[in-house]
Structure 1
Amino acid sequence: MLTIHHKTYIKIPKEIVYKTITTADGWNAWFTDQTSLNMNADGTGDIRFKWSNFGIENANLEDGGKIIESIPNKKFVFQWSPGTTHTTVTLKLEPYKEGTLIDLTETGYAKSDKDLKACIGCATGWGEALTLLKLYLEEGIVYKQDL
C-alpha cells in the first residue's frame, strides 16, 4: 500500500494549529476557497474542500469525505478520494520546542495507475500545503496562486 508522510515544525502553539486545520475558516484562510466542515460533538463529521482556478491548469476542484476522528489539540483524521479509493489523512500535533510538530500521513492508495498518479500529486501537494500552513501561521503570509 502506498503511503505519504510529511513532518513540519510550526513555531505556533498546537491549539492555534488545531483550530486552523479543524475549521472551514481555518482552511479557507491559507489554502482552500470554499471548504465546508461539520464536526459533531464526538469528533466525527464531514469535510468538503473546494478550490477555484487552482494551479497551472486553473482547475476547479472539489473533494472530501468523513471526519473519522478529532482529538482537540492532538489529532485530526479525515477521508477523501483523490484517486479511485478513499484515502485517510491523519494530522497529528505534538509539542516541540516553542511550537508544534505537525505529522501528516495519508494511507489507502491502491496500486492502480489513477491512484499512483493521485498519490504522487498529493505527496507533492501535502508538502506544499504544510509549507503554506507554516507561512500563514508564523508570518501571516497567504499565497493562493492565481495563474
Structure 2
Amino acid sequence: MLKLPPMKFVEYINAPKNKVWKVFVNENGWDPWFTDGMKMEVKDGGKISFRWKRLTNGEVVTDNGYTVEIIPEKLWEFWWYEYEDGFRSKVTMKFQESVDGGTYITIIDHTLVKNTDELEIRYGCAFGWGQMLTLAKAYIEKGLILIG
C-alpha cells in the first residue's frame, strides 16, 4: 500500500447539529439528496448499501459498507468502497456544534491504494466527498435537491 495521509474535508452547515446528524445518519441514508435507494443499519457493525442512479447518468452503481462505530450526534465511522480484496475507504464523520448554532461536519477519509495506478480511486473519493457536502448543504439549509 502507498503511505498517504488521510483526506480531510470540512463544511459548515447553518443548521442545528441534531438536524445535520439525522440527514447523514438514518435508515434511508443520503436519499433523496445524493443517493437512490441507500439503506443503512444505524448501529455498530450495521450494514450499509449504497446505490446511485441520478449522479451516474442513469447507470445503477452500487457499493457496500459497514459501520465501525456510532456515537450519536458526534461521530460515525464506517468502511466502504468494496474492492476485490476488501473495503478500500475507512471514513470518519465528526459533527460539532458551532457557537452560532450551526454545525461543522468533518470527513476524514483513509482511502487505501496499492500503487500509483490506483490513485484514481482516491481522487474519485475526494471528488465525491466534495460533491456530497455541497449537495447536503443545499438540502439541509435550503431544502433544495440539486440532482434530478
Task: Indicate whether the TM-score tops 0.5.
Answer: yes
> Do residues 66 (structure 1) and 69 (structure 2) align?
no
Residue 45 of structure 2 is matched in structure 1 by 44
- Say yes or no: does 1:76 pair with 2:76: yes
Q: Give how far 1:111 is off.
A: 3.4
Percentage of pairs with the same residue: 32
* Contact 1:4–1:107, Cα closer than 8 Å, also in 2: yes
- The SS at the match of 2:41 is strand
Tell me how far apart the structure 1 counterparts of residues 118 and 15 of structure 2 sit (CA, whole Å): 34
Would the aligned equivalents of 1:54 and 1:60 in 2 still touch at CA under 8 Å? no
What is residue 89 of structure 1 aligned with on the other side? 91
In structure 2, C-alpha distance between the alignment counterparts of 1:101 and 1:39, rounded to whole Å: 21
Larger relative contact order (Cα-Cα within 8 Å, sequence gap ≥ 6)? 1
Report 1:102-141 matches (<5 A): 102-113=105-116, 115-141=118-144
Structure 1, 12-21 or 104-113: larger mean CA deviation: 104-113
- C-alpha change, 1:114 and 1:22, in structure 2 (3 Å) is farther
Secondary structure at 1:81's aligned position in 2? strand
Contact 1:82–1:118 under 8 Å retained in 2 = no
* Displacement over 6 Å in runs of 4+: none
SS in 2 for 1:29: coil
What's the secondary structure of 1:24's corresponding residue?
coil
1:4 matched to 2:7? The reply is: yes
Change (3 A) 1:114 1:45: farther
Q: Return the structure number with greater strand share.
A: 1
Question: What's the TM-score once normalised by structure 2's chain length?
Answer: 0.86
State the superposition RMSD in angstroms: 1.9
Offset of residue 58 of structure 1: 3.7
The one-letter amino acid paired with 1:52 is K
Contact 2:29-2:39 within 8 A present in 1 as well: no
TM-score, normalization by structure 1:
0.86
Gaps of 5+ in 1: none
